[in-house]
């Protein structure tokens, strides 16, 4: 049995024994029975939260830390890390997508994650429903105004010192942008941690997926649920955890296997992964010219998202290849009598083809497109949407 001593974030984050703690997998019949119990707990809960660790993403090709081929296990053995999937092109797992469906149905109230891979956000978990306690390798924040940006590329600090989080970019306010990754010895983000604690205090059910719950202070979230009267703690992990003696239901299996079974018991279908984006086109006629600017937003329309690599429009010889993506047509368009043929190039992490949109110009306007891309089909679905209330404030920032 592994030691259940809880470790400080800087002590546990990059440490593991040279011989990994043995993983255990229960018989499928036992998993079926426990999935039925968990489904019943979820149905009866009023404030259900989930706490995820690296084990949630291993089936996407992203290694964990303390498993037989985990990053810190290999480090303790003096071996190099294994080749693994690029987090930018990794496809969210069945467990990720099950959590999205539970969120969309209003069953999952909040998600707390220790993962930095960004898969929860890409899968469809909305920004207001998650605390990424250890950061996100595609999210950066302004040191001055606090504005956040999501990128379709890694935003790791550009400085040799890992504790210097400057990315080399600047906010629209002129402030310095910092990456959000929490390195060894650094404190967790106060806002995210407080939100996680608030939801833990309200939770009557917490499910731990793929975490050893041994690194503080993140582990205090499920710990708080375990210590709350009448609240239930369920843990799914292949290795023993620091809270095994305190949980109400312990399941030894992969996150995907458990969540697939639980969704079957709930009669909920797990949705396929679709890459979702929002594209804004701002048009401004100026005398005999026509200016077009493209901007990206995250799926819920709350945060600027840099997913455009280049943008073009028929009639303009050049492509815009840097933010802001602005193009000028040297002709005047009459509202209702001019079709604009747009071409958007993305970063192609999922082999996305160019996005092509034909749109009839209806005057000085802001146009919002909802974009969906299914990697299995390989085609874009672009639908024009009404500009949402309050979204205009994002266009000027």
| Residue found by looking up tokens 């294994």 in the block | 82
Q: Give 359-369 pLDDT, tens digit per residue.
A: 777 766 788 89
CATH number for the domain harbouring residue 284 = 2.60.40
Q: Number of C-alpha atoms within 13 angstroms, CB side, residue 345?
A: 10
Final residue before a domain boundary, out of 216, 249, 266:
266
- Is 219 marked within a binding site? no
Q: Give 229-258 pLDDT, tens digit per residue.
A: 999 999 999 999 999 999 999 999 999 999
90 and 239: one domain?
yes
Say which DSSP state 377 is in: T
194 and 339: one domain?
no
User: How many domains does the chain fold into?
Assistant: 2
- Is 142 marked within a binding site? yes
Active site residues: 134
Dihedral of CA atoms 55, 59, 62, 66 in degrees, nearest 10, equals: 40
Q: Which helix (H) or strand (E) holds 261?
A: helix 255-266
Q: For the residues 297-314, what does the mean pLDDT come to?
A: 88
Strand partners, 148: 141
- Residues 6+ positions from 257 with CB-CB distance below 8 Å: 31
- Is 173 marked within a binding site? yes
* Size (the chain), residues: 397
3-state secondary structure of 278: strand
Q: What global pTM score does this model have?
A: 0.87
Strand partners, 235: 208, 250
Instruction: Tell me which residue range forms the domain holding 334.
Output: 275-395
Q: Give 121-165 pLDDT, tens digit per residue.
A: 999 999 999 999 999 999 999 999 999 999 999 998 655 666 789
- Is 171 marked within a binding site? yes
335 and 222: one domain?
no
């Amino acid at each position: 049995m592994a030691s259940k001593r809880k470790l400080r974030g800087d002590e546990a984050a990059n440490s593991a024994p040279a011989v990994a703690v043995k993983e255990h997998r229960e018989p499928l019949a036992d998993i079926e029975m426990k999935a039925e119990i968990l489904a019943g707990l979820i149905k009866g809960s009023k404030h259900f939260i989930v706490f995820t660790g690296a084990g949630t993403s291993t089936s996407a090709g992203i290694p964990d830390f303390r498993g037989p081929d985990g990053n810190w296990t290999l480090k303790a053995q003096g071996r190099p890390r294994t080749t693994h999937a690029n987090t930018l092109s990794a496809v969210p797992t069945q467990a990720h997508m099950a959590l999205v469906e539970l969120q969309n149905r209003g069953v999952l109230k909040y998600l707390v994650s220790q993962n930095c891979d960004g898969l929860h956000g890409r899968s469809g978990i909305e920004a207001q429903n998650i605390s990424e306690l250890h950061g996100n390798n595609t999210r950066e924040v302004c040191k001055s105004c606090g504005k956040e940006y999501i990128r379709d590329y890694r935003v790791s600090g550009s400085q040799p010192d890992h504790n210097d989080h400057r990315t080399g970019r600047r906010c629209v306010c002129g402030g310095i942008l910092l990456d959000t990754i929490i390195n060894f010895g650094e404190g967790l983000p106060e806002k995210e941690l407080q939100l996680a604690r608030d939801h833990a205090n309200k939770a009557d059910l917490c499910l731990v997926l793929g975490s050893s719950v041994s690194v503080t202070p993140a582990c205090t979230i499920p710990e708080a649920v375990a210590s709350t009267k009448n609240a239930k703690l369920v843990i799914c992990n292949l290795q023993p955890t620091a809270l095994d003696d305190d949980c109400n239901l312990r399941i030894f299996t992969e996150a995907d296997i458990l969540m697939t079974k639980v969704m079957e018991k709930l009669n909920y279908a797990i949705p396929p992964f679709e890459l979702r984006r929002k594209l804004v086109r701002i048009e401004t006629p100026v005398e005999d010219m026509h200016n077009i600017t493209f901007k990206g937003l995250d799926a819920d329309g709350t945060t600027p998202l840099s997913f455009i690599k280049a943008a073009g429009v028929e009639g303009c010889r050049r492509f815009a290849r840097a933010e802001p993506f602005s193009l000028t047509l040297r002709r005047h368009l009459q509202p209702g009598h001019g079709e604009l043929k747009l071409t958007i190039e993305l970063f192609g992490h999922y082999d996305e083809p160019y996005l092509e949109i034909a749109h009839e110009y209806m005057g000085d306007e802001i146009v919002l497109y909802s974009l969906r891309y299914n990697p299995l089909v390989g085609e874009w679905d672009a639908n024009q949407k009404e500009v949402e209330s309050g979204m205009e404030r994002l266009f000027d920032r």
